[in-house]
Amino acid sequence: MPSEWWRDAVVYEIYIRSYADSDGDGVGDLEGIRTHLDHLVDLGVDALWVTPFYPSPMADHGYDVADYTDVEPTFGDLAAFDRLLAAAHDRGLRVIVDLVPNHTSSEHAWFKEAVADPSSAMRERYLFRDGRDGGALPPNNWTSVFGGPAWSRDEASGQWYLHLFDSGQPDLDWRNPDVHEAWRGILRFWLDRGADGFRIDVAHGLYKSALLADEETVARPGGPGSNVGRPQVWDQPEVTDVFRDWRRITDSYDGDRMMVGEVFILDVDRVKRYVGDDRLHQAFNFTVFRTPWGAAALRATIETALDAFDPPTWVLSNHDLTRHVTRYGGGDLGRRRGLAVTAALLALPGSPYLYQGEELGLEESDVPPERRTDPTWFRTGGKVPGRDGCRTPIPWTAAGPGHGFTTGHPWLPFGADAATCAVDTTPAVLTAYRSMLSVRRSLRGSLGNRVTWLDTADDVLAFEREGGLVCVLNTAAEDVDVMAAGDILLATAQGASASGGVVTVPSASTVWLRRR
């Protein structure tokens, strides 16, 4: 693999609970991933990011970590991780491990000691504070991203502890040097085991404003509970120093290890401060998933990202977001649009992050209330449906009841499209993803990062990437003809053609041309 492989890597996110279950308990596991790696090879991705597989009471399905250097028995053990890593490396796939440094589980030994002995040094690793009104009210008015207050009372001491997410996820105090030292050890543990990189959860949240004062209660972009637009809570000036420190650690290992931050801020000028040769290698660019269907909006988003990052990442879906087929209107139309946008992103410089199941064209699943499991659902009393609908298991076979995912009872029900989108039916979307990734691979090395926009009708997005790849996305309801000379390399819908310097692009589809 070339050095700085991550710069144009296609990374596939595995939400471990829902990828493949090897032991029939209804929950996916490391061995299930290992035995389904060939799907990723056939798809043509470069790396997999596996969501947390640490011991966890599962208040937030693994994003509440009770021990950062071990494996949850439901998911396997350290030997299973080693086997997965070796098998992935044998196939030329890199493996990215998910780190959760903003908070631990309330079952982590540090927190348990902090509660059991308020005078212990562990107490200082968290944000315990006296409440207001003689302790009856939380120390400030902060709310949890999952809904409800961001503070819970420790009944034994009467103090309150901060949790930006669930009460089972107490926030660490990154102003304490012990926390930094402990985390250096955690990084080294996984780097020594051979991990190729880290995805860093809530990377923009590690520090909170020192005063922990009340927030102004103004409407937040993204709605109540949103991750964005909270100047006291996110993106404090000190936070990037953590990643400078971590970069010295990853750079001290051979093998081109990398870090990608979940920096959930929509202002790319702020996000880009997290990325660079002396800090994170990449940050998720969440602007695309928020961009509505339409050429002008997509172009503006893409241009902004290309200006800010060298080069950007592209995120259309993940385990926290409504599946993009559904966001784009659902059904065949949603699938068509989803494919069209994905093809445009795959033609651009940078690193696309794919989410398991999007290559099958899966829609958001309608999970009935009695099967919902997401803390967001519970903490908002069902007002926010939560993220279960994008996390339902992967259907490997059209035949049920376990669809090749499990021999037992799946932890979440399958979506209504499980039979029609199953891997063994080779849905049209899967064929399209395989083609896109294979053509992209064949062009690797021959393309540069410069992008030139082509003048076209308003509903069309068209650009030429340095090296002669022309990409035309038609967001109109009708087919369009665009002046562009070249041979068609790929089309996401039937009916595309090119002749005499004119390419016909069907409605809601993308065409790639190689300039002659």
Of 11, 50, 58, 100, the one binding ligand NOJ (CB under 6 A) is 100
Question: Which residues within the stretch 212-271 sit at the binding site for ligand NOJ (CB under 6 A)?
Answer: 262
Cβ at position 376, least distance to ligand NOJ in Å: 8
- 63 is an interface residue for ligand NOJ by CB under 6 A: yes
Among candidate residues 262, 320, 358, 363, the one labeled active-site is 262
Cα 135–chain centre separation: 38
Nearest-CA neighbor of 215 among 130, 286, 145, 127?
Answer: 145
Q: How far apart are CA 68 and CA 55, in angstroms?
A: 8
Active site residue 31: no
Q: Is 202 left (phi over 0), alpha (psi -120 to 50) or beta?
A: left
137 or 321: CB nearest ligand NOJ: 321
- Total residues contacting ligand NOJ by CB under 6 A comes to 9
Of 154, 320, 417, 464, the one binding ligand NOJ (CB under 6 A) is 320
198 or 512: CB nearest ligand NOJ: 198
58 or 122: CB nearest ligand NOJ: 58
Question: Which residues within the stretch 4-23 sit at the binding site for ligand NOJ (CB under 6 A)?
Answer: none
Count of residues making up the chain: 516
Strand order, beta sheet including 197-200: 282-283, 258-261, 197-200, 94-99, 47-50, 11-14, 351-355, 313-315
Active site residue 466: no
Cβ at position 387, least distance to ligand NOJ in Å: 7
Q: How far apart are CA 362 and CA 320, in angstroms?
A: 15
75 or 165: CB nearest ligand NOJ: 165
User: Contact 87/129 with Cβ under 8 angstroms?
Assistant: no
44 or 205: CB nearest ligand NOJ: 205
Structure tokens at 423: 């891997």
Cβ at position 52, least distance to ligand NOJ in Å: 8
Of 201, 358, 364, 388, the one binding ligand NOJ (CB under 6 A) is 201
Q: How far apart are CA 320 and CA 373, in angstroms?
A: 13
Instruction: Give the number of other Cβ atoms within 10 Å of residue 424's Cβ.
Output: 12
Cβ at position 262, least distance to ligand NOJ in Å: 6
Q: Is 8 left (phi over 0), alpha (psi -120 to 50) or beta?
A: alpha
196 or 320: CB nearest ligand NOJ: 320
Cβ at position 383, least distance to ligand NOJ in Å: 17
Which residue has the CB atom at the shortest distance from ligand NOJ? 63
- 60 is an interface residue for ligand NOJ by CB under 6 A: yes
Cβ at position 428, least distance to ligand NOJ in Å: 29
Of 9, 40, 202, 315, the one binding ligand NOJ (CB under 6 A) is 202
- 505 is an interface residue for ligand NOJ by CB under 6 A: no
202 or 265: CB nearest ligand NOJ: 202
- The residues that bridge with 483 in the sheet, in sequence order, are 502
Q: What are phi and psi of 502, to 5 degrees?
A: -125, 130
Of 165, 190, 377, 433, the one binding ligand NOJ (CB under 6 A) is 165
Instruction: Give the number of other Cβ atoms within 10 Å of residue 71's Cβ.
Output: 18
**β-strands 460-465, 351-355 pairing:** unpaired
Burial category of 131 from C-beta neighbours within 10 Å (exposed 0-12, middle 13-18, buried 19 and up): middle
Cβ at position 130, least distance to ligand NOJ in Å: 26
Q: How far apart are CA 466 and CA 445, in angstroms?
A: 11
Structure tokens at 499: 């002749």
Cβ at position 396, least distance to ligand NOJ in Å: 24
201 or 464: CB nearest ligand NOJ: 201
Nearest-CA neighbor of 279 among 309, 318, 320?
Answer: 309
Cβ at position 37, least distance to ligand NOJ in Å: 23
- 377 is an interface residue for ligand NOJ by CB under 6 A: no
What counts of helices (H) and strands (E) characterise the chain? 13, 19
Among candidate residues 60, 72, 201, 358, the one labeled active-site is 201
Nearest-CA neighbor of 102 among 197, 160, 48, 183?
Answer: 183
288 or 295: CB nearest ligand NOJ: 288
Contact partners, residue 498, CB within 8 Å, separation at least 6: 484, 485, 486, 487, 488, 504, 511, 513
What track of x and - describes contact with ligand NOJ for positions 338 through 367 (by CB under 6 A)?
------------------------------
CA dihedral 230, 231, 236, 237 (to 10 degrees): 150
Residue ranges in contact with ligand NOJ by CB under 6 A:
60, 63, 100, 165, 201-202, 262, 319-320
* Catalytic machinery residues: 201, 262
